[in-house]
A and B are shown apart, each in its own frame.
Chain A
Amino acid sequence: MNAILECKGLTKSYGGKKALSDVNLTIERGRIVGLLGPNGSGKTTLIKLANALLTPTSGEIRIAGMKPGTGTKKIVSYLPERNYLNDWMRVHDIIGLFRDFYGDFRPDKAYDMLKRLNINPNDKLKTMSKGTKEKVQLILVMSREAELYLLDEPIGGVDPAARDYILETIISNYNPEATIIISTHLISDVEKILDHVIFIREGQVVLSSSVDEIREQGKSVDGLFREVFRC
């Protein structure tokens, strides 16, 4: 079975500034991966490169062996850090849009999750709180049957109780063959569901390890993160 995501010497510069520098990384299928690093470390740049929203300055990135593009968008479900949905639309309309757009979108799954989170599909996005909007976006993204989910800061804007609910949503919809990459700096909240972590600092991967390996040394991921990124 080939790796779902692979980077070789991946570098991205903005002008003279290197956002990612010589990243070598292999991520297997069937993992829930934490992409962890402080603000400005290159997490979003890496995710955007995987989505063909940016092109590498040098090196390469491959998703299931393919260069990011039309082919990979069919198998990658992406949650951007920002809300890109039209505010005037109703949830119901957006579900229609997703169904038209993605062959692997499952409306029944989306409606089911909306119901569980008490969100009315007839509500317009603009009447919703920031947290509810985030939940809607996550529901849409998790309702696809993708091979790779890229979630950029999925729990940043919601309270701790909703965070648990969102993580539960992710777990209960997770197909064990798929890989989920979650970028965040809220480590203690997500560490239980992760089985692999990648630490990224100033555009470089400083650690790529299974969570159990870290814990076997008597450390928590949160503790190790604080150690590695001590200011």
Chain B
Amino acid sequence: MPWDLKPDRPIYTQLVEHIEWMILSGVYPPGAKLPSVRDLAREASVNPNTMQRALAQLEEDGLIITHRTSGRSITEDSEMIQKARIRIAREQVSEFLEKMKKLGFDKKEILSIINNMIEEVGK
């Protein structure tokens, strides 16, 4: 997964989102070890201090656990991960709804588009 960082949003926020995404999509499964700050920073070509800050945020959110001697790993608390998945899903949907509203669709129309598309994709 490439670190596609946008130039007009804080780097730190984007790092948090990217790592969250990697955790929730299974690139780093529950309990997996996370690479070191330096390696992650090099991979994303960002300042290690910024990466450090992003990891601290994820730790505060409960997705990452820091071990005293052996680096960091992903939480094994599946409830925690499920919570984060739902939060991100809600964010995605609210962004989508915002755009649909701008395009002038009402609730019923939006629901019918979604239903139709889900069936199409299902085929």
With A176-B52, A192-B5, A195-B50 as contacts: A168 and B45 at CB distance below 8 Å:
yes
B66 CB contacts on chain A under 8 angstroms? none
B: number of interface residues (CB 8 Å): 18
Q: Is the CB of B48 within 8 A of A215?
A: no
Interface size class of A (residues with CB under 8 A): 20 to 34
B9 CB contacts on chain A under 8 angstroms? 215, 218
Q: Which A-chain residue is minimally distant from B7 (CB atoms)?
A: A220
B45 CB contacts on chain A under 8 angstroms? 164, 167-168, 171, 192-193
- Give chain B's interface secondary structure class: helix
Among A31, A167, A223, the residue within 8 A (CB) of B7 is A223
Q: Is the CB of B41 within 8 A of A171?
A: yes
Q: Which A-chain residue is minimally distant from B39 (CB atoms)?
A: A172
Q: Is the CB of B49 within 8 A of A30?
A: yes
B46 CB contacts on chain A under 8 angstroms? 171, 192-193
A222 CB contacts on chain B under 8 angstroms? 7
The reply to whether the CB of A188 lies closer than 8 angstroms to some CB of chain B is yes
Give residues in B with beta carbon < 8 Å to A: 5, 7-12, 38, 41-42, 44-50, 52
